[in-house]
Amino acid sequence: MAAVEVRDLRKRYGSFLALDGVSLTAQTGQLVTLLGPSGCGKSTTLRCLAGFLDPDGGSISIDGSDILGVPANRRGFGVVFQNYALFPHMTVAGNIGYGLKLQKRPKTEMAERIADAMRLVRLQGLEDRYPRQISGGQQQRVALARALVLRPRLLLLDEPLANLDARLRDEVRWLIRDVQQESGITAFYVTHDQSEAMAMSDMVAVMKEGRVAQFATPREIYQKPVERYVADFTGEANFLSCTRVAPVAGGYDIEVAGAHLRVAGVPGIRDRAELLLRPEALSIAPDTGQALFQGRVEKLAFLGASQHCEVRLPDGGALKLAVQANRPVGVGDQAGIRIDSEHAWLMPEVRQ
Ligand SMILES: Nc1ncnc2c1ncn2[C@@H]1O[C@H](COP(=O)(O)OP(=O)(O)OP(=O)(O)O)[C@@H](O)[C@H]1O
Ligand SMILES: [Mg+2]
């Protein structure tokens, strides 16, 4: 049984349908990320989970029991939001212990639990500072500790890193994942940053206009997206239209740009399809005999470990690929492009 089961959640704001049947699950101890562009319904879903919003339809259960009738403060969830301000007149320890104080816990227990939470988020030594005396990353860690100190059944995080600069974001992101795994707590995490979602999550729900377009592991979302929208949102991608598609055991025989390939893909494609080629499915062929496409190198960017390369094809299309850093290739060069069909993935073509 899933620890958390969200089924067919619906929510309207006036006449606007913000959630149009969202279903997700989290197993105990998993971190599940809601990923998608602005306005797709991530926060609305999280607010329904938290109990700050009442959905118009659907159900949410925790360990098998329905929680929709339970008010937010009785759900026992920890919540960390982007703008969840700390109390400016209270010290770090005061902020973290606030919820325990409301629960009228004994002083010694409070002190122990505050110390534990501070250790977990690596804030030792800052007990007596005020929020204005600590950095943005530290403030966000206080917010996390404040949620964790109550030993929540479920942790809900809505873009908790959005106010931090890139470096801090990286640091706090790993800390959140460590703490979540160390404490074995089940968590929902909202972000519109795909690399964050990929790196941190056990499961990712890619959301699109109030629905879940795909719910799967980061690897599956990246390698086997169900549609172009998901592929586009989860990393660099090339798409090529296929002119012939024939199902065979375990995949499809396709024709793309005049060449024949056998590839895996979304089951049930009948006719119109497009081929997804992540940059790592493409390489520059050492000799033209191995090349499927010929093109002209149009852009090159040195990234350190590799070079980002864009090749313009004669039909006007372009392919993005990663090339080894030390490979002698220059803008304007003719290049033969090879496809590693094991890394290619066929998807149904979206009709515009
Ligand atoms: N109180 C409200 N009244 C009317 N519409 C709302 C309200 N809150 C949200 N919406 C709309 O519902 C949709 C979903 O909003 P939501 O906040 O869930 O998006 P989100 O995915 O979290 O986006 P972001 O990444 O920008 O935070 C948006 O189109 C938004 O404009
Ligand atoms: Mg939001």
Domain ranges for the chain: 4-232, 238-348
Q: Residue 168's pLDDT band (boundaries 50, 70, 90)?
A: confident
Report how far apart the first and last C-alpha atoms of the chain are (Å, whole number).
40
Mutate to test the pocket of ligand 1, among 9, 10, 16 (most ligand atoms within 8 A of CB): 16
pLDDT band with cut points at 50, 70 and 90 for residue 167? confident
- Look at residue 1 and tell me whether its pLDDT is greater than 60: no
For the domain made up of 4-232, the CATH class stated in words is alpha beta
pTM of the model: 0.91
Check residue 350 and give its pLDDT: 78
pLDDT for 183 equals: 87
What's the pLDDT score for residue 170? 86
The mean per-residue pLDDT over the stretch 181-195 comes to 93
pLDDT digit string (tens) for 4-29? Answer: 999 999 999 999 999 999 999 999 99
4-232 and 238-348 share one CATH topology? no
What average pLDDT score do residues 142-167 get? Answer: 89
Q: 238-348: which CATH topology?
A: OB fold (Dihydrolipoamide Acetyltransferase, E2P) (2.40.50)
* Ligand 1 binding residues, C-beta < 6 A: 13, 16, 18, 36, 38-44, 192
> What is the pLDDT at residue 227?
95
Ligand nearest to the CA of residue 37, numbered in listed order? 1
C-alpha of residue 43 to centroid of ligand 2, in Å? 4
